[in-house]
Chains A and B, each alone.
Chain A
Amino acid sequence: MPLFTLNINNKEHRIDVAKGTSLLWVLREHLGLTGTKYSCGIAQCGACTVHIDNAPMKACVLPIDSFADGQRITTIEGLSEKGDHPVQKAWIEAQAPQCGYCQSGQIMQAVALLEENPNPTREEIKEYMNGILCRCGTYLRIVKAIELAAENKTPIT
């Protein structure tokens, strides 16, 4: 099997897998980075959202052989060392998760949103987050968490 090299959370990983294997299976089953979740496999739900060079992408439809040298992959595990990224803190403040399964994808999408647009309107939040499904129905608290984390809102204590 071919050997691939990926930069994940600022660390080089050499991975021996079949060509065409999705980044999601590489992360979860080969590297043990299980914070990124499988749910649909066809880029419809966003549970597997990671950052590729800071842009949110759905790992389930990215074959490992599609990465160029030097591309940086960030997963929920690489977002902060102690789970204290401002967005993660806002998520706790809003008590956003219920079952929690979709929340890594939600948080990765929200971080990308706020990096792109530090003061999103509610409509902009809804539009940007629309690709990430939550079955428990935590959407209102996700919006609240993003508003808490946004620069124009009360700082999180």
Chain B
Amino acid sequence: MKTATKHSSRREFLKTSSGVALFIGVSGILPQLVSCKKTDKVRAQLAKHELTAWVRITEEGEITIYNPAAEMGQGSMTSLPVLFAEEMDADWSKVKVEFSPQEVEIYGSEGWAPGSKLMFTVGSRTTKSNYPVMRKAGAQARHVLMYSAAKHWNVPISELTTANSNVIHEPTHRELSYGALVPFLKMPDILPDFTEDQYKNPKDYKLVGKRIPRTEIPVKVNGTAQFAIDIRLPNMVYGVLERGNLHGSQPTLNNQTEILALEGVLKVIPFDYAIGITATTLEAALNAKKRLKIDWSESQATGYNSQEIYHDYEKIADSKKNGKIITEQGDVKKAMRTAAKTYRTDFKNDYVYHAQMEPLNAVIQVSAYFNSAEVWVGSQQGTDTKLGVPKLLNIAPENVNVHLQYLGGGFGRRSMNDFVEECALLAKEMAPRPVKLIWTREDDVTHGAFRPLTLQRLTASTDKDGAITGLSHFVIGDGGNLVASGIKNHHYNIPNQWAEWRETSHGVRLKHWRSVGHGTNKFAIECLLDEIAMDQGADPIELRRKLMVKSPRALATLEKATEISDWNGPEKAGRAKGVAFAEHGSLGTGVCEISVDQKTGKIKVHRFWVALDAGVIVQPDNVKAQMEGGLIMGMSSVLKEQITIVDGRVQQSNFDDYQLLRMEDIPESIETALIPSTSIPEGVGETATPLVACAIANAFLRLTGKPLRHLPFTPERVLAVLNG
């Protein structure tokens, strides 16, 4: 039976191995070196700061590096250890990677507030936020090894160098491997901080910027990669919940006696918004779930029809009443008053759903005395690394052990820990038996937390020379930053800018969805630019070139994308190219080439090009994979995906009525050009996705002369635009 006992097996390892745990802690924890032969000291150290190590070295030279971030396919199990190993000068072939314990004081990286600490795999922050942490810890590990060799050989540390897991003393031609140094390791009194010039010279990099195969791919092709849904424990029971499809509705169960009499059913556990069932087998739990007879109350969402709400949103956009002001630069009103020409356009987007392939699930075991809990979960972590369990179950945080597993997709959905809390409540009822909670796909869709529906009203002004002098952008929708992120234009030289969010509320559950508001705001901004370009008879690249005059890094991506896409080259009949720019940490310009079936309205994307400036590129092939994945997820959402609400009820329930992009619709190629840079790494996971809607719409505009202004671009909508 497969169980996730990495945690205890690490302890076992420490007790029996001849290696050492190198405790290079941060946040006030003193550096410690404990020989694993001295088991009492190991235990004492573990009792104080359980597993605070960033790295462990055995006498055989095997090196284990701990990854503090979630791995959801973005490559953290490689990129972060690569940064550490590079500065440590470790032999990569001897490196193993494990998830670190979920202890934010030890393994956290700086959060949004200066000096704060977070273990939170969101906002494409993994590489950027952990870059200083991993480099420093790796360099400190190397320093400890060199210090120990200097003491052992009685030579000045300044005469030592390192290479490929060896410390070298060139004057005497002596050399010791890191593993061989283990018995002689000593901890210096002070571990130095490092300035940029003390880190390895990038020209000497052996790992950073090279094609290093991802460490976790072998287990993902042989079926042994462990996701939380794969956990099986002795005496484990299964939990399911029926939540209905009207968010905020409260259930009344009418056949509890009948349900409890079903074979295998253990308990019926009511929630405010759901009925929970535990059973001895998953099939028994699912069978009972189907037989529930529930009356659902009305909720805030009752009466809400998503496809009819846009008329109300237009009225809100027409209103003189301001919302929350996000950008106020120059004098937009004056720019409009004095403009040679103004442009006003509304853009719309329907709800979309995360559709991560692994439905939400967790396994939790609460102890018989309700004073500790073990949690196995695929989570993007959180501001509380114990995922709300301590507060919910009134258990001290140090007694809640979170065993992070691989995530079968995150995309923002797994930064919301509603499913963990549900499982904790079931596990409390069933203690000390562990509970595996599984959401069915239907649960995952109908009780989803969607990217919000919005209407965006953009107004732009141009002067007599056609230069854009003002841009006003209202976004109307629910969710604050969920709809407002990405509304700012840092890289366009438009002197007068105004952006505001006008709030609505419908009681529909909402959440960050890959690239968040960027996906819809960039769609509106970039499409408006092309509508202006078309009106002026200008080339869309040339128009952006002028706007990027004060942003050389953005401009460089534009120029590179122009080059690799052969923008100025001849176009095949029936095809056109479209361009878009987006920033989400990293800066990207995308170009796509499309055609349209005039009979069916189906858009075909033939090719996509991206030029990206993401600062230092740690893993180039993986960055390309993120571009490919981000673009294809973007194409899926832009061309196919749509959640609709009728009388408050979610109308879709599975992949038959919520269509994702399939193999038949992939482009022929995606080409990525990476701009060389020595700036600190920026996130790459969410820069590609927002390029897609606007690049496709802009190509469509150039191909047909008609604008697409409502996401998704389903064939029916495209036909209506073509025939309109």
Interface of A toward B, CB cutoff 8 Å: 17-18, 20-22, 25, 28-29, 32, 34-42, 44-45, 47, 75-77, 79-80, 82-83, 88, 91-92, 95-104, 107, 125-127, 129-143
Chain B proximity of A103: nearest CB distance (Å): 5
Contact A137:B221 (CB < 8 A) given known A29-B282, A32-B232: no
Q: Are A139 and B357 in contact (CB under 8 A)?
A: no
Q: Are B625 and A21 in contact (CB under 8 A)?
A: no
Instruction: Indicate whether B281 reaches chain A with its CB closer than 8 angstroms.
Output: yes
Give chain B residues whose Cβ lies under 8 Å from the Cβ of A95.
Answer: 213-214, 217, 621-622, 625
Instruction: Indicate whether B72 reaches chain A with its CB closer than 8 angstroms.
Output: yes
Q: Are A129 and B663 in contact (CB under 8 A)?
A: yes
Q: Are B224 and A141 in contact (CB under 8 A)?
A: no
Q: Are A98 and B73 in contact (CB under 8 A)?
A: yes
Set A17, A79, A104, A137: member contacting B629, Cβ < 8 A? A137
Instruction: Indicate whether B230 reaches chain A with its CB closer than 8 angstroms.
Output: yes
Give chain A residues whose Cβ lies under 8 Å from the Cβ of B2.
Answer: 32, 34
Set B72, B230, B287, B662: member contacting A133, Cβ < 8 A? B662
Q: Are A99 and B660 in contact (CB under 8 A)?
A: no
Set B220, B227, B263, B629: member contacting A18, Cβ < 8 A? B263
Q: What are 10 A-to-B residue pairs whose CB atoms are below 8 Å?
A: A18-B263, A34-B232, A41-B440, A44-B656, A79-B223, A83-B222, A100-B225, A102-B357, A127-B664, A140-B632
Give chain B residues whose Cβ lies under 8 Å from the Cβ of A134.
Answer: 357
Q: Are A17 and B663 in contact (CB under 8 A)?
A: no
Contact A100:B408 (CB < 8 A) given known A25-B283, A88-B222, A140-B670: yes
CA distance A29 to B230 in the complex (A): 8
Instruction: Indicate whether B13 reaches chain A with its CB closer than 8 angstroms.
Output: no
Set B230, B409, B628: member contacting A135, Cβ < 8 A? B409
CA distance A132 to B630 in the complex (A): 18
- Size of B's binding interface in residues, CB under 8 A: 66
CA distance A92 to B633 in the complex (A): 22
Can you list the 4 inter-chain pairs with the closest CB atoms, starting with the nearest? A35-B223, A137-B632, A98-B73, A101-B408
Give chain A residues whose Cβ lies under 8 Å from the Cβ of B283.
Answer: 17-18, 20-22, 25
Q: Are B662 and A130 in contact (CB under 8 A)?
A: yes
Q: Are A92 and B628 in contact (CB under 8 A)?
A: no
* Chain A, Cβ-Cβ closest to B354: A135
Q: Are A35 and B222 in contact (CB under 8 A)?
A: yes
Give chain B residues whose Cβ lies under 8 Å from the Cβ of A103.
Answer: 220-221
Chain B proximity of A21: nearest CB distance (Å): 5
Give chain A residues whose Cβ lies under 8 Å from the Cβ of B631.
Answer: 137
Q: Are B408 and A99 in contact (CB under 8 A)?
A: yes
Give chain B residues whose Cβ lies under 8 Å from the Cβ of A142.
Answer: 663
Q: Are B656 and A92 in contact (CB under 8 A)?
A: no
Contact A40:B441 (CB < 8 A) given known A95-B217, A98-B629: yes
CA distance A45 to B356 in the complex (A): 12
Chain B proximity of A84: nearest CB distance (Å): 9
Q: Is chain A's binding surface mostly helix, strand, loop or mixed?
A: loop
Q: Are B223 and A44 in contact (CB under 8 A)?
A: no
Chain B proximity of A111: nearest CB distance (Å): 11
Give chain A residues whose Cβ lies under 8 Å from the Cβ of B73.
Answer: 97-100, 136
Q: Are B1 and A100 in contact (CB under 8 A)?
A: no
Q: Are A44 and B357 in contact (CB under 8 A)?
A: no
Set A44, A101, A138: member contacting B655, Cβ < 8 A? A44
Contact A100:B655 (CB < 8 A) given known A137-B628, A139-B666: no
Q: Are B654 and A42 in contact (CB under 8 A)?
A: yes
Which has the most chain B C-beta neighbours within 10 Å: A96, A127, A130, A137? A137
Q: Are B218 and A83 in contact (CB under 8 A)?
A: yes
Chain B proximity of A121: nearest CB distance (Å): 13
Contact A135:B223 (CB < 8 A) given known A32-B232, A99-B72, A140-B670: no
Which has the most chain B C-beta neighbours within 10 Å: A45, A80, A100, A139? A100
CA distance A104 to B410 in the complex (A): 19
Chain A proximity of B226: nearest CB distance (Å): 8
CA distance A37 to B621 in the complex (A): 27
CA distance A140 to B56 in the complex (A): 37
Give chain B residues whose Cβ lies under 8 Å from the Cβ of A127.
Answer: 663-664
Give chain B residues whose Cβ lies under 8 Å from the Cβ of A32.
Answer: 1-2, 232
CA distance A39 to B358 in the complex (A): 6
Give chain B residues whose Cβ lies under 8 Å from the Cβ of A102.
Answer: 357
Q: Are B666 and A126 in contact (CB under 8 A)?
A: yes
CA distance A82 to B226 in the complex (A): 17
Chain A proximity of B639: nearest CB distance (Å): 13
Instruction: Indicate whether B424 reaches chain A with its CB closer than 8 angstroms.
Output: no
Chain A proximity of B374: nearest CB distance (Å): 19
Give chain B residues whose Cβ lies under 8 Å from the Cβ of A22.
Answer: 283
Give chain B residues whose Cβ lies under 8 Å from the Cβ of A136.
Answer: 73, 357, 409, 629, 633
Instruction: Indicate whether B216 reaches chain A with its CB closer than 8 angstroms.
Output: yes
Q: Are B217 and A97 in contact (CB under 8 A)?
A: yes
Instruction: Indicate whether B229 reaches chain A with its CB closer than 8 angstroms.
Output: yes
CA distance A44 to B358 in the complex (A): 14
Q: Are A133 and B214 in contact (CB under 8 A)?
A: no
CA distance A135 to B354 in the complex (A): 9
Chain A proximity of B422: nearest CB distance (Å): 18
Instruction: Indicate whether B253 reaches chain A with its CB closer than 8 angstroms.
Output: no
**Contacts A44-B654, A99-B72, A136-B409 known; 9 new A-B pairs at CB < 8 A:** A21-B283, A34-B232, A41-B441, A42-B656, A76-B222, A125-B663, A135-B633, A139-B632, A140-B670
Instruction: Indicate whether B669 reaches chain A with its CB closer than 8 angstroms.
Output: yes
Contact A40:B633 (CB < 8 A) given known A75-B223, A83-B221: no
Instruction: Indicate whether B411 reaches chain A with its CB closer than 8 angstroms.
Output: yes
Chain A proximity of B683: nearest CB distance (Å): 15
Contact A29:B281 (CB < 8 A) given known A99-B356, A100-B408: yes
Instruction: Indicate whether B407 reaches chain A with its CB closer than 8 angstroms.
Output: yes
Q: Are A98 and B408 in contact (CB under 8 A)?
A: no
Contact flags B614-627 to A (C-beta < 8 A → 1, else 0):
00000001100100
Chain A proximity of B126: nearest CB distance (Å): 14
CA distance A109 to B411 in the complex (A): 26
